[in-house]
Amino acid sequence: MRINGTAALITGGASGLGAATAARLAEAGATVYALDLQASIDKAEAVKGVTYVAADVTDPGSVEAAVATASGSAAPLRIVVNCAGIGTAGRILSKKGPHDLDVFRKVVEVNLIGTVNVMRLAAVAIAQTETLENEQRGVVVNTASIAAFDGQIGQAAYSASKAGIAGLTLPAARDLAQQGIRVMTIAPGIVDTPMLAGVTEEFRAGLAEGIPFPKRLARPEEYAQLAQSIIEHDYLNGETIRMDGSLRMAPR
């Protein structure tokens, strides 16, 4: 599918993976709408071709409004990339007691339910566009994590939410096949995003050393590159791709 001349909605688009993807798709000729919380948008650096839309992925009303904005442009909405997500640490049972259920629920709500919320509402708009070659209309790229498969100690909430996204991929692709919408998922390993901004260089080097090859952290731009490849490759559908340098996470 050609990116030039289409509209794209990127969640978590003000920083990290989402920002890199928004910039790359805009450069490729898409009209990009970066959906994020207002506080994140306020900190974002403006990117040519990217319009920032304040919305909470867990709120149906604000997502519906964001989708309406993206689909109301001159270009048809055909691309959705879900990058919005949060992560917390907590064991099922620790010295402090059982896992905080509200914290667990929040992580699942943002990461998994937020992804489903955006996908379901965007699918309505994409399904109304004219068909392209082979009856296709668009593509949704979701973001899981290698923690979906190799969850570490303290990652129960995060791993569960990301495993849900990986498990969602095939049935969602099958559900949306009639509408000509593909669904793919990227499962990144350790990416050098703002979430790692506060760690020391020594800690960062330790993370890189554990990666078989290449021995470095992934870059947000590499996620964006893979997302673009998925969008342009019409026969990729219903699968989760690991982007991790062959890393398999140890228990801790």
* DSSP H helical ranges for the chain: 16-27, 38-43, 60-71, 101-108, 114-126, 147-150, 156-176, 201-209, 220-232
The catalytic position among 52, 158, 223, 235 is 158
Give CA–CA dist 108/85, Å, rounded: 9
CB 247 within 8 A of CB 211: yes
Which pair of tokens denotes residue 81?
């990339």
Q: Which letter, b or e, does each residue of 22-46 get, where b requires 16 or more Cβ atoms within 10 Å of its Cβ?
A: bbbbbbbebbbbbbbeeebbeebee
The sign of the CA dihedral 182, 187, 191, 197 is positive
C-beta separation of 64 from 120 below 8 A: no
Nearest-angstrom CA–CA distance, 130 and 148: 35
Q: Could you tell me whether strands 93-94 and 97-98 are parallel, antiparallel, or unpaired per DSSP bridges?
A: antiparallel
CB 10 within 8 A of CB 220: no
Q: CA 128 to CA 80: how far, in whole Å?
A: 15
CB atoms within 10 A of CB 19: 25
Is residue 158 flagged as an active site residue?
yes
CA distance 173 to 178: 9
Q: Which positions are annotated as active-site residues?
A: 158
